[in-house]
Structure 1
Amino acid sequence: MSTPDAARLQRPPAEVRHAEELAALRAEDRDPRPPGWQLSLRAARRFVIGDERAGITRKFVGNTALVERALVTLATDRGLLLVGEPGTAKSLLSELIAAAVSGTSTLTVQGGAATTEDQIKYSWNYALLVSEGPSPRSLVPAPMLRGMAEGRIVRFEEITRCPLEVQDCLLSLLSERVLAVPELEGEGGMVFARAGFNVIATANTRDRGVNEMSAALKRRFTFETVFPIPDFDTELALVEAESSALLRRSGVTVAPDRDVLEVLVTTFRELRRGAGGPSGQAVAGDRISAVMSTAEAVSVAHAVGVRGWYLRGEAGDAADLVTCLAGTAAKDSPEDLARLRRFLEQEGSRRRGAQWKALHRARHLLAE
């Protein structure tokens, strides 16, 4: 994909966004590579966590040891399952690793209640199937078949949202490393995985138990938990960087107000843990039940900037923040909206800073 074409995409895949870095890493990579990998394990780690001296940007803000363990798992015959709260960058991490290991991150299955085995393994071109019968020409490969045939990483997003019988179609693929196509005769009826094939699945902890994985499938995965960012400054920097990039793609030419972002990140962190203020005292109403993740904070910051720029020609202020927060905190729970209102009433009045005062003055917008 050319640069002009990529510039028109809302969100190009990782291998397109970071094509220059991947090419540079491949060119200078002299370390041993696992069979089928496009980068060595060390180079893949540098791609994900960054290398300032080599001009490689940090793309995943998280535990370096987690990234190393994930890469080691994928170099074995076990799949990788990333679990954690929504918005902790599980999907981003799986995308980055797939781009580093296979050169593509687009072999993806999106799990859900309507996901079928055909969407995971293969289906048929029914016009050709009727006219020619089962043949390689009428076979339509799904991500798992392509990943096995090409020796690439397959990403399975939100695996626990799929029905149990759909999940279990992975059992033979992960253990025997072969996909049977019984409709085809001869060699075409068995697709054997090439070196480099493996699976990265994700599951958020709020969905686990909806369709609990079977013990047999769990044994075929190594579980790694992705935790929220613990450090305030790191989370603020990430929200600022990501929201700035989104705003540029939305045509907004002014940078987000850092003071507004500080208020936003502080609000999310304190509602997320159910405590207010540096001393950790409980906020009335306790922990909010809505997802107050870093990814959600980036979305709110993006909305604040778009609202401020396209309505008034400025960066967005605390009043915009209150308006955008309402849709985040009250998606399905009136109690959460009440908790947010109490937070703005109590914390906004006692905090120092112009934006905190403006946030307190704008609290009435939650009711509008």
Structure 2
Amino acid sequence: MTPTQTTPEVLRQHAEQAYAHELAALAQHDRHPKPPRWNLSPRAVLTYLMGGRAGDTEITPKYVGEPRLMEIAVATLATDRALLLIGVPGTAKSWVSEHLAAAISGDSTLLVQGTAGTDENAIRYGWNYARLLAEGPSEAALVESPVMHAMREGKIARLEELTRVQSDVQDTLITVLSEKTLPVPELNTEVQAVRGFNLIATA
């Protein structure tokens, strides 16, 4: 890049980028206990969502509504239970899930967009078929889904429009959420979720 060139401005930054200064200020002044691999305590996550102050930094509200709903959402995730946000279109479900993931994991990009065509590979894992044909099943040929990546890293995964996904594909989540493990029978192994992993779905 030459000195006269500039980095193009993206149309929309991820929450952890757009509000990085607020998240940093909250982390700096956060004195409350944090669940494993959470960047902020549940109390600081609530402040990030509902607005307030962190030292001299004003925290802008990300959600304007009943505080009790956000308290329940944060408490659900803090107690290792998956969170389902249900509402009619335009009620900020995706917006809230993005900001929850940003505040808790510092990464809101581990996202599966649910549609009628979403298959098991999008939730579990897929394969690099060129390597699969050349080498056979191996870790190198495995293509991680956002959910598998979140399990390995102890982060929050997001699944948009869960109810648009066919029911047999939804069933893929049963073992992930109940046993906190994702079997990979082709490799005779499994991926066990690291503490901090959780799932936020919208419907």
Matched, 1:160 2:187: no
Match of 1:9 in 2: 10
In the alignment, which of 63, 73, 79 is matched to residue 66 of structure 2? 63
Match of 2:98 in 1: 95
Matched, 1:179 2:182: yes
Aligned partners of 2:186 and 2:201: how far apart in 1?
A: 28
Task: Check the 8 A contact 2:25/2:57 in 1, yes or no.
Answer: no
**1:326-360, CA deviations, whole angstroms, 9 ceiling, x for partnerless residues?**
xxxxxxxxxxxxxxxxxxxxxxxxxxxxxxxxxxx
Match of 1:334 in 2: none
Matched, 1:192 2:192: yes
| 1:54 CA drift (Å) | 3.7
Match of 1:220 in 2: none
Aligned partners of 1:73 and 1:171: how far apart in 2?
A: 18
Aligned partners of 1:133 and 1:28: how far apart in 2?
A: 51
- Which structure dedicates a bigger proportion of its chain to strand? 2
Task: Check the 8 A contact 2:22/2:57 in 1, yes or no.
Answer: no
Match of 2:75 in 1: 72
3-state SS of the aligned residue for 1:137?
Answer: helix
3-state SS of the aligned residue for 2:186?
Answer: coil
Match of 1:114 in 2: 117
Q: Which amino acid aligns with 1:139?
A: L
| Number of residue equivalences | 196
**1:88-112, CA deviations, whole angstroms, 9 ceiling, x for partnerless residues?**
0010000000100110011111111
Aligned partners of 1:35 and 1:146: how far apart in 2?
A: 17
Aligned partners of 2:57 and 2:66: how far apart in 1?
A: 20
Aligned partners of 2:68 and 2:171: how far apart in 1?
A: 30
Aligned partners of 2:68 and 2:81: how far apart in 1?
A: 18
Task: Check the 8 A contact 2:50/2:62 in 1, yes or no.
Answer: yes
Where do 5+ consecutive residues of structure 2 fail to align? 1-5
Aligned partners of 2:185 and 2:80: how far apart in 1?
A: 25
Correspondence 1:2-41 to 2 at 5 A: 5=7, 8-41=9-42
**1:294-335, CA deviations, whole angstroms, 9 ceiling, x for partnerless residues?**
xxxxxxxxxxxxxxxxxxxxxxxxxxxxxxxxxxxxxxxxxx
Q: Which amino acid aligns with 1:63?
A: E
| 1:35 CA drift (Å) | 1.2
Match of 2:48 in 1: 47
Where do 5+ consecutive residues of structure 1 fail to align? 204-368
| 1:192 CA drift (Å) | 0.5
Aligned partners of 2:192 and 2:179: how far apart in 1?
A: 9
| 1:61 CA drift (Å) | 1.1
Matched, 1:84 2:82: no
Q: Which amino acid aligns with 1:123?
A: G
Aligned partners of 2:33 and 2:80: how far apart in 1?
A: 18
| 1:36 CA drift (Å) | 1.7
Aligned partners of 2:10 and 2:66: how far apart in 1?
A: 30
Give RMSD over aligned pairs.
1.3
Moved over 2 A (4+): none
Correspondence 1:339-350 to 2 at 5 A: none
Match of 2:3 in 1: none
Q: Which amino acid aligns with 1:18?
A: Y
Structure with more contact order per residue of length (Cα contacts < 8 Å, sep ≥ 6):
2
| 1:60 CA drift (Å) | 1.1
Aligned partners of 2:131 and 2:20: how far apart in 1?
A: 37
Q: Which amino acid aligns with 1:175?
A: S
**1:205-227, CA deviations, whole angstroms, 9 ceiling, x for partnerless residues?**
xxxxxxxxxxxxxxxxxxxxxxx
Q: Which amino acid aligns with 1:174?
A: L
TM norm structure 2: 0.93
Matched, 1:140 2:143: yes
TM norm structure 1: 0.52
Higher-Rg member (1/2): 1
Q: Which amino acid aligns with 1:99?
A: A
| 1:77 CA drift (Å) | 2.9
> Identity rate of aligned residues, in percent?
53
| 1:75 CA drift (Å) | 1.2
